[in-house]
Every structure is written in C-alpha cells, then in structure tokens.
Amino acid sequence: MKLRVIGPWGAYPKAGEATAGYLLEAGRNRVLLDCGSGVLAALQRYIGLPELTHAFLSHKHYDHMADLGCLQYACLIDTDLSRRELPLQVLLAEEHEGDWTVPLMRGSAANGVSVKETVWLEDGVRLSFFRTDHDAYCLGVRVEAQGKVLVYTADTRYDESLIPHLSGADLLITEASFYADFDAGRYGHMTSAEAAKLASAAGVKRLMLSHLPHFGEIERLKAEAAAVYSGDIVLAELGMLAEL
C-alpha cells in the first residue's frame, strides 16, 4: 500500500494547497480518502482523474467534501471522452444519503456504507468503517491489504472506544486540530496529545498528524505528541508519500 497526502489542512486550505484528501494505492485500487477544498487540483499532480476507482467521504463537512461536485464533472467528461471505463465508486455513510448535498451524476455511482459493513475491493483490499465522535455523522476507515493496516480517523473527539479500530495499525492518520493545552473536544476535534494517546493505547507503529491548524507553530504538535507516544511521528504535508 502507498498513501499520498493531498490535503493536510483542517477547515480551509493554505494558499495553493488543500484540506482533507489522501490518495491510497492498494493493488489495482486508487482510492481517494476524502475530497476537501483544493483536493482535485492537487490530486492531479500525482494521478490522472480517470485512474481513480473509489472515493470515500468520511462526513459532509465542507473541508472533507467540497470538491466532490467537480470530481463528478470530471467523471462525466472523462466518461464521455472514453477516458473512464467504469463509474467512480463513491463510498459514503448510508446515513447521509437522504440529505447528501451533492447529487450524484452519471460517471459516478454512490455506494452507501455502514459501520457494520466490510467492503472488499480488488486484490483482497478490505475496508471496514467505524463511527467517530464528531458533530456531523462521521466514519473512519480501516484498510487492510497485503498484511498491512492503515487507519484514517477523519474528524473526531478523543474517544477511547476508537482504540480497537486503530489497533496494531502500521500507519494511523489522525487529526490533530489543536495544540495540547486546548479544549479540542468543545469543537468536535482532538489535540496532538490526545491523538498520540490513542496511537499509544492502540499499539500503532507510525502516526501521521493531519487536519492541521492555521495558527501557532505546527512543529509543536509533533513535540507534544512525542511526549505521549514513542513511535514514529510525521506531520502531514502536501505530496508526502508513506509506503506500507
């Protein structure tokens, strides 16, 4: 598996960058994990849009789905130009479907997923979903392929019930929206130290802090996490590639 960071920012993108978005390559699958603001432009530095097979939307906050509409226009155009053979499979929580704000268009197909469900992709790639503690209905995803495990928490408060879903991950991508001395739960998010506490309790091998804040010195997030968690810690940045 390979994981490329497309969007490391929470809320809104830094100039020329993007909010939540990660490109997962696993076997023949090319899966976009979240499709935030700026993701579509940044993504094309690394992959042609017709190559995308799936897009997973964790929840319907704009910093995770703002570019979904334009991604579907691309699917429509690529389908008409015979550059895309199969519809893009859009995986989103079935609890969303009734009030999802972007209607799904030809060239893409919606597949509701629930926390009870396991989705198998090509080449034995397994996706399982779990509910996080956030203001909107939000799903995290655990990806298992070729004996490796990657987990993406999307947005969440600190919640120890997440630990079994993160357990033993080779790479955990988690949000670190605030610095350690902040009451992040009030905003539905976690601090660097809370993210690290979960990683430590779950025996995670590598921790990527993402969904980063637009204030303060973000290197401080890493130092705060290192005080709690002894494994490798990286701060997500545009284009960063993690191989599992």
Among 4, 61, 157, 165, binds Zn ion (CB under 5 A): 61
Minimum gap (Å) between residue 173 Cβ and Zn ion: 13
Per CB under 5 A, which of residues 172..231 are in contact with Zn ion? none
60 binds Zn ion (CB under 5 A): no
Pairing of strands 2-7, 241-243: antiparallel
Minimum gap (Å) between residue 59 Cβ and Zn ion: 6
- Which three-class secondary structure state does DSSP give residue 205? coil
Of the candidates 95, 93, 34, 98, which has an alpha carbon nearest to the alpha carbon of residue 68? Answer: 34
The full DSSP string for 12-42 is: SPPTT--BSEEEEEETTEEEEE---TTHHHH
Closer by beta carbon to Zn ion, 61 or else 142: 61
Query: CA–CA distance from 216 to each of 6, 123, 221, 229 (Å)?
Result: 22, 43, 9, 21
Closer by beta carbon to Zn ion, 77 or else 100: 100
Closer by beta carbon to Zn ion, 35 or else 244: 35
Name the one residue in this structure whose structure tokens are 């017709």. 50
131 binds Zn ion (CB under 5 A): no
Among 155, 171, 179, 225, binds Zn ion (CB under 5 A): 155
Residue ranges binding Zn ion (CB under 5 A)? 61, 63, 155
